[in-house]
A = this chain, B = another copy of it.
Amino acid sequence: MTGFMAETKRESTDPPEPADGHDAGVILERARASVDPQLRSAIESLPVSMRRIALYHFGWEHADGTPAADNAGKAIRPALVLTAAAALGGPEARAEAVRAAAAVELVHNFTLLHDDVMDRDTTRRHRPTAWTVFGVPDAILAGDALQALALRLLAEDPHPASARAAARLANCVVELCAGQHADTAMEALGPRDVTLDEVLAMAEAKTGALLGCACALGALYAGAEDEDVEALDAFGREAGLAFQLIDDVIGIWGDPRSTGKPAGADLAARKKSLPVVAALASGTPEAVELASLYEAPYAKEDLERTALLVERAGGRDWAQVQAADRMARAMQDLARAVPDPEAAGGLLSLAEFVTRRSS
């Protein structure tokens, strides 16, 4: 376990090292292996017009319909469902939660299809986005169909928790929509018109909500008590926020492990990411200069200065301390629901993986 966050970690909340068998890479691979057959058979059940788009989006087919070897992302959300179920209910609960895991992954991908349309993003997982290949209407429709598939999987699941899981997942979709709305609305505002609370609330709705829901669904499928379901939801939300904070730091200063976005990408896009808004809200002279720079069109020669201003205004430190705080809270939520460190090890590894504290 390494990473640039080591210096902001507090000894008192330092989580135990994951036990053997809790390697995040292995957990993710196992999740992908468990969930893919369910996911594929759900997508195969679509009418051909919708199936083509979904298979392309998941990276299983090229645009011309020939099979592709790409895989469909890291399966973090299905892994959270399955690992939460295993933590609270053992291997049987994990096996029973596979449909729920597939449903969460379908919801995630439905939102990606629609977000790419709204944000006009042209690349996703190193490939052209679905709307650039099939057009906007088809990308919207395929997203709609994936949401329906997700909720159908749960409606058809005889497990006693399936109805509560479906209601929870549907509520999460509403929250994701509100989060995406807030994100779009804030991008249209000037740098002086966005508050830190608003950006934090947006990040929780857009990123934290589905990670929390994934963990909660796993707990529901393990037959957990309500308070444990809520604790696991909180765990996922806090870990999700820690992830977003660190992702935003990487979006400005680059990934110390050099596997992420190029340094400065978010600044060039004038993104109101968490460190930037923290800097803008700092009341420092640097905040004033940063706001002026952000109001002007992007110029390459200003990039270094912009990053320096965010750092000097305290945005970088704030984000790293916040991320560590969120992770500490996540660990407390996890310990409440799963007191046995051995049982909690898998979820801990996943939280560390998404916050890039381990690989």
Contacts and interface: CB of A to CB of B under 8 A. Distances in A.
Copies of this chain present in the complex amount to: 2
Interface in A156-171: 156, 162-164, 166-167, 170-171
A137 interface: yes
Interface stretch (A141-149, A259-267, A291-299, A348-356): A141-149
A144 B50 contact: no
Contacts of A136: 118
- Size category of the A interface is 35 or more
Contacts of A278: none
A200 interface: no
B155 A50 contact: no
A247 interface: no
Nearest to A148: B173
Contact of A148 (B154, B162, B171): B171
A178 B49 contact: yes
Contact of A137 (B110, B118, B137, B154): B118
B137 A184 contact: yes
A18 B90 CA distance: 60
B50 A178 contact: yes
Contacts of A142: 177
Interface in A270-323: none
Interface of A is mostly: helix
Q: Which residue, of A152, A155, A166, A182, has the highest number of chain B Cβ atoms within 10 A?
A: A155
A177 B145 contact: yes
A170 B144 contact: no
A237 to B, nearest CB: 16
A336 B142 CA distance: 36
Nearest to A185: B49
A194 interface: no
B167 A156 contact: yes
Given A47-B175, A163-B155, A170-B155, A181 B141 contact: yes
A151 interface: yes
A180 interface: yes
Contact of A144 (B137, B147, B162, B182): B147
A149 B170 contact: yes
Contacts of A151: 148, 151, 155, 166, 170
A177 B155 CA distance: 19
B163 A148 contact: no
A173 B144 contact: yes
A49 B155 contact: no
A47 B147 CA distance: 19
Interface string A89-125: 0000000000000000000001000100110000000
Nearest to A136: B118
Given A144-B147, A149-B170, A167-B155, A181 B118 contact: no
Interface in A34-65: 46-47, 49-50
Interface of A: 46-47, 49-50, 110, 114, 117-118, 136-138, 140-145, 147-149, 151-152, 154-156, 162-164, 166-167, 170-171, 173-175, 177-178, 180-182, 184-185
5 contacts: A47-B177, A49-B185, A50-B174, A147-B173, A156-B163
